[in-house]
Amino acid sequence: MLRHFGMFAHYNRWANTLLYDAAAQLSDAEFHENRGAFFGSLRNTLNHLLVADRMWMHRFTGTGEAAAILNAIPHDALADLRAARAAEDQRIIDWVETLDDARLAADITYSPVTRPGAITHPLRAAVAQFFNHQTHHRGQCHMTLTALGKPSLELDLIYFLRGEGRRWM
């Protein structure tokens, strides 16, 4: 499980880099344009991913920023958002490297922003959700890019594993 989450932490950074490289090719109007994703625009969806990752990392570590709402926009400009994303991706990798089997088996308790009340389950389930959520919304970002007429991205895990991620196989 530890190696699996390490792979996902590095894959996450790799996929985000590809996604942000593609976003950098957009005009500002395209970046802000609502193309029907759950959070509307690429800007909003990328901000949601950052906000949600920070919420989870705050739950996991007790440190860092944590917005009170899922649709917060901490960064309007792509350059600022990209810098924050790169820092958060490194923070995730660094944190995953501190985990051990006992910690993953231990319970985590938190209160979701979507509904009041404590939720408790093993940390390993929360970490799996954390990485799954990122993949889910990166898919929406991919849809937004293709709806804007941009080339399709190869974000599948297998592409990472065939290249930069070979050490995780």
Note the pLDDT of residue 45: 95
Over residues 152-167, the pLDDT tens digits come to 899 999 999 999 999 9
Binding residue positions for a divalent metal cation: 48, 133, 137
Contacts of 13 (CB under 8 A, 6+ apart): 86, 89, 90, 92, 93
pLDDT, tens digit only, all 169 positions of the chain: 888 999 999 999 999 999 999 999 999 999 998 888 888 899 999 999 999 999 999 999 999 988 888 888 998 999 999 999 999 999 999 999 999 999 999 999 999 988 889 999 999 999 999 999 999 999 999 999 999 999 889 999 999 999 999 998 8
Q: According to DSSP H, which parts of the chain are helical?
A: 2-23, 28-32, 42-61, 78-96, 101-105, 123-147, 157-162
Binding residue positions: 48, 133, 137
Can you give the pTM of this predicted structure?
0.94
Q: Give the CATH number of the domain where residue 89 resides.
A: 1.20.120.450
Question: Which domain covers residue 95, as residue numbers?
Answer: 1-168
Q: Which residues pair with 107 in a beta bridge?
A: 122
Number of domains in the chain: 1
Task: Dig out the tokens for 94 from the structure.
Answer: 């660094």
Over residues 33-61, the pLDDT tens digits come to 888 888 889 999 999 999 999 999 999 99
Give residue for tokens 């895990």.
Answer: 157
Q: Are 3 and 168 in contact (CB under 8 A)?
A: yes
Note the pLDDT of residue 50: 97
CB-CB neighbours of 43 under 10 Å: 24
Alpha-carbon span 22 to 33, nearest angstrom: 15
Q: DSSP 3-state assignment of 95?
A: helix
Q: Are 155 and 138 in contact (CB under 8 A)?
A: yes
Alpha-carbon span 20 to 105, nearest angstrom: 34
pLDDT > 90 fraction of the chain, expressed in percent and rounded: 80
